């Protein structure tokens, strides 16, 4: 069963479950594109703020999906997605032919399990995690990695266009494995930039001028632009909380074990994020790993001065 081509693009009803740092601006983009959107969040106040943008607000996740053609989830982890879909009654209320688009970052085996369970209910499932952070969500420039049926992904072209650029990367679970690979690159690059910042300052150079000097060279990246700027300005409000970066690195480690892979750079940066989160940095932006590296590089005795 596939979505009817006769259904007008903007007449499809969308439910958006999870309107936190990423979900709220994504839902807002869909509303601005002219879609009818019903929203729900565990903390009702985070959903209520979208009412002024034209969203209908539901008191429960189950109520939000009644009659929905497309259901987005943007939740913290696989357990939260499983709970909302199957424990809070959402799956029971989805009509045949509805499409669940899970933009959360969860383990690939969990995404495949969700897809299999929903398929038995004649409901389509796309795992479509995103990259680009809050800035990308607000600007509609997210990179969307979609796993699942290519035809279903194609049927959502106008919906995804409001959020960013979508790429179909393979079958169910493929979106999540690509997101984990993305998170490897993000974490390792954040660590590399943070270490470089410490090195140049120790050598007497300006961190700000260092970043300025290498812009446009081989070290240029979106991470140098945004997260390097955060490090220079020491602005570490999330963004992407370090506890979620660690969650993704833990998932990478699990996949590496499953595939019998040795990923030494990922293992090292995972250890650094684990220590940073354990030391109280869990809700600090992941660019705040700089703070952890600064702490372990303090000259001996400095803390006692």
Q: Known catalytic residues?
A: 179
User: CB 264: neighbour CB atoms within 10 A?
Assistant: 7
Residue 197's nearest CA partner among 211, 186, 215 is: 211
Token pair in block for residue 81: 């997605």
Backbone angles phi, psi at 259, to 5 degrees: -95, 5
Q: Residues 146, 153: contact at Cβ < 8 Å?
A: yes
For tokens 């019903």, the residue is: 38
**Dihedral (C-alpha) 92, 96, 99, 104: value to the nearest 10 degrees?**
20
Token pair in block for residue 5: 């081509």
Query: Which residues face 124 on adjacent strands?
Result: 99
Q: Residues 242, 286: contact at Cβ < 8 Å?
A: yes
Angstrom distance (rounded) from CA 236 to CA 214: 22
């Amino acid at each position: 069963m596939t979505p009817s081509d006769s259904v007008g693009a903007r007449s499809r009803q969308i439910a958006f479950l999870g309107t936190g740092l990423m979900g709220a601006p994504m839902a807002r983009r869909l509303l601005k594109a002219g879609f009818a959107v019903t929203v729900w969040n565990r903390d009702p106040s985070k959903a209520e703020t979208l009412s002024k943008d034209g969203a209908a607000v539901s008191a429960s996740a189950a109520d939000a999906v009644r009659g929905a053609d497309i259901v987005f989830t943007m939740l913290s982890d696989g357990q939260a997605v499983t709970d909302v879909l199957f424990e809070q009654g959402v799956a029971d209320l989805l009509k045949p032919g509805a499409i669940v688009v899970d933009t959360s970052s969860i383990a690939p085996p969990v995404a495949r399990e969700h897809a299999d369970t929903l398929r038995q209910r004649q409901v389509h499932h796309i795992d479509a995690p995103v990259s680009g952070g809050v800035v990308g969500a607000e600007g509609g420039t997210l990179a969307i990695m979609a796993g699942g049926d290519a035809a279903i992904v194609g049927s959502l072209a106008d919906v995804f266009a409001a959020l960013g650029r979508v790429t179909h990367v393979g079958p169910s679970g493929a979106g999540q494995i690509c997101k984990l690979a993305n998170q490897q690159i993000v974490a390792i690059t954040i660590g590399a930039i943070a270490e470089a910042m410490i090195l140049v300052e120790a050598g007497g150079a300006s961190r700000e001028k260092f970043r300025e000097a290498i812009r446009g060279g081989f070290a240029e990246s979106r991470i140098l632009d945004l997260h390097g700027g955060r490090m220079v300005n020491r602005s570490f409000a999330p963004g992407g909380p370090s506890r979620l970066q660690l969650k993704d690195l833990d998932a990478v480690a699990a996949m590496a074990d499953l595939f019998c892979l040795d990923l030494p750079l990922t293992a090292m940066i995972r250890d650094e994020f684990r220590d940073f989160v354990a030391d109280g940095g869990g809700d600090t932006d992941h660019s705040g790993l700089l703070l952890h590296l600064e702490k372990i590089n303090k000259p001996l005795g400095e803390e006692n001065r």
